[in-house]
Amino acid sequence: MTTRDIEAAADSLWSAATGGTAIAPLRETFPGFGPQEAYAVQEINTQRKLHGGGRLVGRKIGLTAKAVQKQLGVDQPDYGMLFADMAIADGEPVHWSRLMQPKVEAEVALVMEHDLPEPGITMAQMLRGIAFALPAIEIVGSRIADWNIRFVDTVADNASSGLFVLGNTPAPLDGLDLRLAGMVMERKGEQVSLGAGAACLGHPLNAALWLANKMAELGRGLKAGDVVLTGALGPMVPVNPGDVFEARIQGLGSVRAVFEEQQP
């Protein structure tokens, strides 16, 4: 692919996001579209967002479930950027106009206490760098029509990011076993997703460590105050207008995502 092709792919995703109309998979539109090109597209739109006044507040990890990696033909997770305007307060109504093909998944969120700028980060350094954990609901979305994605499509699309909701009660890691932490998510009181920390690369902290080292290698290391969404603990669930989801994670409490009725 040429530089012009990569820029065209980035433009198409940006237009889809701003115009609210999903596009065909990039892998079909741009022959030879591989992981390197996909991350280049993500970076172009990250810079576009930053130059437009966006503020980076964290990162998200995607494809942490081995079954999903196998489905998409990859052997590692991917990552995306979290911006301040993607953050939703617990229980704050989300207007449907902010969403594209939304689905929700429950995750462990980590908030950093210290910078981790250098690659070669150990688990001990990772643990020391974390201030606290929170329950989170990620509201994922796709600018690719019908969620017809493969690895390169979701990477280019900022790891199929949308919005995220954090709980309000920070929990220190002392005494927490996030690997065994059970998760249940309900829609209006009906159970829709079950899981546990072990579903996330064996342990949410494993996912966080992978991300911290990947970001450091790229010169964009995690900073104090950054939010890290460590990956889904259970199956993602499609969202309908008017839905109310509550996720409870053992040791972390609960968090709610509330969706307004679709406006005519």
The span from the CA of 144 to the CA of 26, in Å, is 8
Residue type for 210, please? W
> Phi and psi (nearest 5°) for 257?
-120, 125
pLDDT tens digit at each of 264 positions of the chain: 899 999 999 999 999 999 999 999 999 999 999 999 999 999 999 999 999 999 999 999 998 887 677 767 777 899 999 999 999 999 999 999 999 999 999 999 999 999 999 999 999 999 999 999 999 999 999 999 999 999 999 999 999 999 999 999 999 999 999 999 999 999 999 999 999 999 999 999 999 999 999 999 999 999 999 999 999 999 999 999 999 999 999 999 999 999 999 765
Tokens of 89: 């307060």
The reported pTM is 0.95
CB neighbours (10 Å) of residue 76? 13
Q: Assess if CATH 3.90.850.10 describes domain 56-259.
A: yes
pLDDT at 72: 72
pLDDT at 154: 94
Nearest Cα neighbor of 184 from 234, 244, 139 is: 234
The span from the CA of 118 to the CA of 252, in Å, is 29
pLDDT at 229: 98
How many residues are listed for the chain in this entry? 264
The span from the CA of 155 to the CA of 81, in Å, is 11
The span from the CA of 14 to the CA of 30, in Å, is 16
- Report yes or no: 121 and 209 within 8 Å, Cβ to Cβ: yes
- Report yes or no: 159 and 127 within 8 Å, Cβ to Cβ: no
pLDDT at 75: 76
pLDDT at 176: 95
